Amino acid sequence: MNERPGGAEGSFSNRPPSAPFILIGRRRSYHGDTIATARALRPFYQIWCVLAAFVASDWRRLFSPSPLEKSRLEILSLFFQARKLKQIKRPRTVIIISAVIMVLSESDAGKSLTAAAARGDTAEVRRLLEERRVHPDTRNEFGKTALQVMMMGNTNVACLLLENGANPNIQDRFGITPAHDAARTGFLETLCVLVDHGASVNIPDKSGALPIHIAIREGYRDVVEFLAPRSNLGHQDTRGDTALDIAEASCTPDMVELLKRQLESSLAFQS
């Protein structure tokens, strides 16, 4: 029988393992399981990275050649070519870097578009939408779209954004829509453009206020007259006030009379 030097009693295999050895052994076993798990999940992780890259780059526009999309396509093309030639040992790292570059380029585009819309620069807004193919709902660093920060009195900018697919009912964290902003500032023409492109005037903000509620408080009679037949006059805000209640509290008899006539005509139509 072959024995290790030192006999059976002195052999390493027959000695009770010390605490440090047990700890190291456990670490090794845990490390091995971690590596095996990571290898098993690697394909799913790479797929997730690819999806993240495409989502970040707005995949619907990847096939529309523009300076912004060309840079994205070049990144993806170079990656897949290098991967095919086995020149990239860690593809997920490259995909993550590509996704970060795409997100940053999208963020820069959002800043440029919102800044141009806020200035009322129609030519620059058109260039960004048509030449660079920036999506009109691209957000800036504050989470705002161009329609939310645009110069409200500039109907040309509003038309450009809406005709290129901007969401007319987009809400911020307070539930405020572009229609709320137009009613607050009293720009009736801009409000008409929003409504013509599908904006709803019956979306409440977080306080439950409709655009007509805001227009009454601000005293814009022409805006109230436009909104009255299109608004749900029975809607109550979080304090339980309707449009008529707000008009009565604001001591504006002309608006009170306008709203009463509208309510009467609505009841007559329903009957």
Return phi, psi of residue 168, to 5°.
-75, -15
* Predicted local confidence at residue 107, as pLDDT: 56
In this prediction, residues 28-43 reach a mean pLDDT of 50
Start-to-end C-alpha separation, the chain = 108
Evaluate whether residue 27 is within a structural domain.
no
* Predicted local confidence at residue 91, as pLDDT: 54
Q: How many CB atoms lie within 10 A of CB 88?
A: 17
* Predicted local confidence at residue 137, as pLDDT: 92
* Predicted local confidence at residue 232, as pLDDT: 96
Span 84-134, pLDDT tens digits = 555 555 555 555 555 554 544 555 677 899 999 999 999 999 999 988 888
Evaluate whether residue 136 is within a structural domain.
no
Tell me the C-alpha distance between 197 and 151, whole Å.
Answer: 18
Q: 101 is written with which tokens?
A: 């570059």
What is the CATH classification number for the domain harbouring 205?
Answer: 1.25.40.20
Tell me the C-alpha distance between 179 and 158, whole Å.
Answer: 12
pLDDT exceeds cutoff 80 at 32: no
pLDDT exceeds cutoff 90 at 190: yes
Evaluate whether residue 154 is within a structural domain.
no
Evaluate whether residue 108 is within a structural domain.
no
Evaluate whether residue 116 is within a structural domain.
no
In this prediction, residues 18-45 reach a mean pLDDT of 47
The answer to whether residues 166 and 134 touch, using CB atoms and an 8 Å cutoff, is: no
How many domains does the chain divide into? 1
Close Cβ partners of 79 (under 8 Å, ≥ 6 residues apart): 88, 91, 94, 95, 98
**Higher pLDDT among residues 45 and 181, named by residue:** 181
Q: 84 is written with which tokens?
A: 């095919």
Span 50-73, pLDDT tens digits = 555 555 444 444 444 444 445 555
User: Dihedral (C-alpha) 31, 33, 39, 41: value to the nearest 10 degrees?
Assistant: -120
pLDDT exceeds cutoff 70 at 165: yes
Containing domain of residue 206, as a range?
168-271
Q: 92 is written with which tokens?
A: 């997920």
DSSP string for 141-163? TTS--HHHHS-TT-HHHHHHHHH
Evaluate whether residue 47 is within a structural domain.
no
The answer to whether residues 255 and 224 touch, using CB atoms and an 8 Å cutoff, is: yes
**Higher pLDDT among residues 213 and 13, named by residue:** 213
Is the full-model pTM beyond 0.85?
no
Evaluate whether residue 205 is within a structural domain.
yes
* Predicted local confidence at residue 48, as pLDDT: 55
